[in-house]
Structure formats: C-alpha cells, structure tokens
Chain A
Amino acid sequence: AQTVTQSQPEMSVQEAETVTLSCTYDTSENNYYLFWYKQPPSRQMILVIRQEAYKQQNATENRFSVNFQKAAKSFSLKISDSQLGDTAMYFCAFIAYSGGGADGLTFGKGTHLIIQP
C-alpha cells in the first residue's frame, strides 16, 4: 500500500517570500505520478503541478516548482514570489502508473499555507 506524508500541518509566510512544502511517500512501485493539488477556502481542488516518476527533470509551472528525489521518495513544492491568492490547503498525492490508476489517488493530510500581507 502506498502512503503519503506531509509533515507540516500549517505554514505562514509573508507575501513575495519563497516557501517550500514537504512531502514524502512510500511505495514499491517503480512507475507512478506525483501531484500537488491546491484547495482554497472555496474548496475546489485545483491541480498545481504534476511529476512523472520516470522523468529526472523537475516539473515547473510558472512560480511553482518541485524537487523530486526518487531515491529518497521525496517530493517538495516550492512556491516563489508568494501571493495572497496562494493561501490554501496544499495536498501531495500519488498514483501508480500500472493498473490504470484503479487504486485511485493517495493523498497526504495536507499543509495549510497562509500568505500574510
């Protein structure tokens, strides 16, 4: 069974600062996807960034980037130039590539990120 651990229940930074959210996972699979999802107070889960395990290059989406360390089973999210709209719950999630993802996404418990003005 896969597990995802987010060790920071809450983080708070000033606007324009850089913040890094941590995530570790455990799996015996070799092919899988990792995701960061954002859930603002309005509650709709929004995809932030995705990483395929077979890709060595870290994914980047504008101000969002990841540090993917496959051997360490670590997948952290870096948010640069943080904005007030980044305030949300952030969930790290895992899904195995094999089996068509029929086991569904496995989520961590989330990190509540607060951007202070």
Chain B
Amino acid sequence: ETGVTQSPTHLIKTRGQQVTLRCSSQSGHNTVSWYQQALGQGPQFIFQYYREEENGRGNFPPRFSGLQFPNYSSELNVNALELDDSALYLCASSLALAGASDTQYFGPGTRLTVL
C-alpha cells in the first residue's frame, strides 16, 4: 500500500452532471497529481497541485478543475460530464523539493461511469 487514499471507489453519474473526487496524500508529501485512465490505456496527466496552486496541466478542458488543501488533500472536480469522461481517475502524491519532482505514489483510483 502507498498510503494514498481516494474516495469514492465507484461513482455513477449522468451526462451533464458535476462530480467531485477526493484524494488524501501520503504523509509528508506536498504535491498531488491527477490522471485519467481510460479502459485499456495508460494514465493521462490532468493537472498537478503544489502548495495549493495548480502548477501544471495536461490537455484537458477547463471543466476539469481541482483544489489542494493545507493538509495536502485534494479534490478533482469535473463539470458538465460527458460520456467520454467515463474512466478510472487516479491521484498520485509526491514530495517536491526546490522545484524538483520526486517519485509519484498512486492511490487505488475512483471508477467513474457516465451514463
């Protein structure tokens, strides 16, 4: 186990709805990254938060947004859900020192199904 937890485990939503996924980082880690993993694919980077600010973003639209809290837990919010948003959402925590990234440790993921 990595010490990274995510909730909920599974979620079913309908098209157009909004969803919030949560992640608790490994103790001592100050950086969290979110990934989307479609079925049969490798994870794709959504964004990264460092010290409560977004400091990197992949090729995802603005309806994907996030928050990082002072205790380094994090949320991923997706508005106006589309069928293609159905995927496993992974968060990963790491310790960044002096701007350098370290190994990312992943949580178990949240399986989102959009109907």
**A residues bordering B, Cβ < 8 Å?**
4, 33, 35, 37, 42-47, 50, 91, 93, 95, 97, 99-110
Contact = CB atoms under 8 A, between A and B. Distances in A.
Given A45-B90, A45-B106, A104-B58, A95 B42 contact: no
B61 interface: no
Nearest to B99: A100
Contact of B42 (A47, A99, A100, A110): A110
Interface of B: 1-2, 31, 33, 35, 40-48, 50, 55-56, 58, 88, 90, 92, 94, 96, 99-101, 103-109
B93 to A, nearest CB: 12
Nearest to A96: B101
Nearest to A101: B101
B56 A104 contact: yes
A109 B42 contact: yes
A100 B101 contact: yes
8 contacts: A43-B88, A43-B108, A44-B2, A91-B43, A97-B101, A101-B96, A102-B101, A109-B42
A95 to B, nearest CB: 6
Given A44-B108, A44-B109, A45-B90, A102 B56 contact: yes
A44 B41 contact: no
Most buried by B among A93, A104, A109: A104
Instruction: Output the residue of A47, A93, A97 with the most chain B CB within 10 A.
Output: A47
A91 B37 CA distance: 12
A42 B106 CA distance: 13
Given A44-B106, A44-B107, A105 B43 contact: yes
A104 B31 CA distance: 11
A101 to B, nearest CB: 3
Nearest to A47: B103
Nearest to B97: A100
A100 B50 contact: yes
A51 B50 CA distance: 23
A50 B94 CA distance: 14
Contact of B45 (A33, A50, A91, A104): A104
